Amino acid sequence: MRLPEAIMELLNVHATVHVISYTSIGRKVIQRQNPPVVVTNEKRKSAQDIANEIMYPNEPWEEIRRRKIYVILDTDIAMRRQRTKYKAETIQSEKWLASLAEETGGMMVLASSEAELIEQGARVAGEIDAQYVVAYRPKRPLALAAEGEFRSIRVASRRGGLQIRARKGYVARSEKR
């Protein structure tokens, strides 16, 4: 099944989609592990460093190396491009999934840490547990609906302070099916 057909099927069965995304955590980890420039006083040992340590074991080589400041540049351009592409794709997918969740009356959660991911999972579970089914009689009967016709609805509360999350509408199915 292709993506457009899968989305149509979701809409046809009136599924509510909730999304818990870890993409922002992934982007943070990649940025932290692979910064483009690093300034440090620690240097990887070279063959010369190892030879010096063997030849002159009484010299304070660690201290000598720490007296200097090293600038490390990420010159792996292909990997940087791949990371940039990954970042752009995850941001685009977040927008797409947020739209799908909103359209179906669900919610999108972007966690910024592993602990928040677990916490938000519990929030989504509570949200699912607190769902209600609301019925209404349409002004135009379903028998007159064209196959696949989208009918917009708006759910509101007379009581203030409530947060209502509802789908934007539904796909009308004729009773001829």
Mean pLDDT of the chain: 84
Same domain as 10, residue 93: yes
User: At residue 91, does pLDDT exceed 90?
Assistant: yes
Same domain as 55, residue 131: no
| Residue 68 belongs to some domain of the structure | yes
Our count of domains for the chain comes to 2
CB 90 within 8 A of CB 29: no
Same domain as 29, residue 48: no
| Residue 46 belongs to some domain of the structure | yes
pLDDT at 63: 79
Same domain as 90, residue 15: yes
pLDDT at 158: 81
Same domain as 107, residue 27: yes
Domain final residue pick, 73, 97, 127: 73
Domain final residue pick, 49, 73, 97: 73
pLDDT at 174: 56
Same domain as 136, residue 93: yes
Mean pLDDT of the 95-115 span:
90
Structure tokens at 141: 């009967």
The DSSP output letter for 59 is S
User: At residue 131, does pLDDT exceed 80?
Assistant: no
20 pairs with which residues across the strands?
Answer: 109
Please report which confidence band the pLDDT of residue 94 belongs to, taking 50, 70 and 90 as the band edges. very high
Domain holding 10, by residue range, is 3-36+74-171
| Residue 177 belongs to some domain of the structure | no
Contacts of residue 37, Cβ cutoff 8 Å, sequence gap at least 6 = 71, 72, 73, 74
pLDDT in tens, 16-73: 899 999 899 988 888 877 777 888 877 777 888 888 888 888 888 877 777 778 887 8
Same domain as 142, residue 119: yes
Same domain as 143, residue 125: yes
Domain final residue pick, 46, 73, 100: 73
Same domain as 65, residue 31: no
Same domain as 118, residue 46: no
Same domain as 163, residue 87: yes
Same domain as 107, residue 64: no
Distance CA 72, CA 94 (A): 33
